[in-house]
Amino acid sequence: EAGVAQSPRYKIIEKRQSVAFWCNPISGHATLYWYQQILGQGPKLLIQFQNNGVVDDSQLPKDRFSAERLKGVDSTLKIQPAKLEDSAVYLCASSSNPRNSPLHFGNGTRLTVT
Amino acid sequence: TQLLEQSPQFLSIQEGENLTVYCNSSSVFSSLQWYRQEPGEGPVLLVTVVTGGEVKKLKRLTFQFGDARKDSSLHITAAQPGDTGLYLCAGVETSGSRLTFGEGTQLTVNP
């Protein structure tokens, strides 16, 4: 089966600019996650979708981050405006059943904010 | 948010040595997963443990879930350079479906 697809692979922007990331999960996976992974740390959950509804966005900095999954398939994560501390790898993952199935991760988008 | 603490944070060993990585929490998890991540890639699942006291083996890797389902360990026998990577434990909260990751253990196996 095809894996989780993410784009772009790399992105460099200046602070206060906007950026968007795209994710296409594994076909049929109802649950989609966005994680932020700062260098040297474990992934931190930003938002979890079940189909096109938000299950958990408690750790999403909503003043600058937004995400949508309008048709319950692919998803976009946006940062507006970006700050230096947003430099990280943004990982998208999907799962068929979050309670007893593993997460399948994409290779991430590496964001550098200068 | 339930927190997972991993130790050690960094580990550099010689090929052929054994090692153990620990994952501890004060909270109970319904299940715990171990992932391995290589540079430039996303984490890849190694194993899921569900039952307290459960032990699972994957070739030279042995995973154990604590009796109280609050902690876990990963033991690697006769480490090889191909084992180099970031090892992450992640727990599924009992109250929902959120998967919380530890900070990871960066393992380097030198030939």
> pLDDT digits over A3-58, tens only?
999 999 999 999 999 999 999 999 999 999 999 999 989 999 999 999 989 999 99
Task: Check CB contact under 8 Å for A56 and B42.
Answer: no
CA B33 to chain centre: 7
Task: Check CB contact under 8 Å for B48 and A102.
Answer: yes
Contacts of residue A14, Cβ cutoff 8 Å, sequence gap at least 6: A82, A113, A114
Is the per-residue pLDDT at B96 higher than 90? no
Task: Check CB contact under 8 Å for B101 and A42.
Answer: yes
What's chain B's average pLDDT? Answer: 93
Residues in chain B closer than 8 A to A35 (CB atoms): 101
> pLDDT digits over B16-74, tens only?
999 999 999 998 998 999 999 999 999 999 999 999 999 999 999 999 999 999 999 99
The whole-number pLDDT of residue B1 equals 57
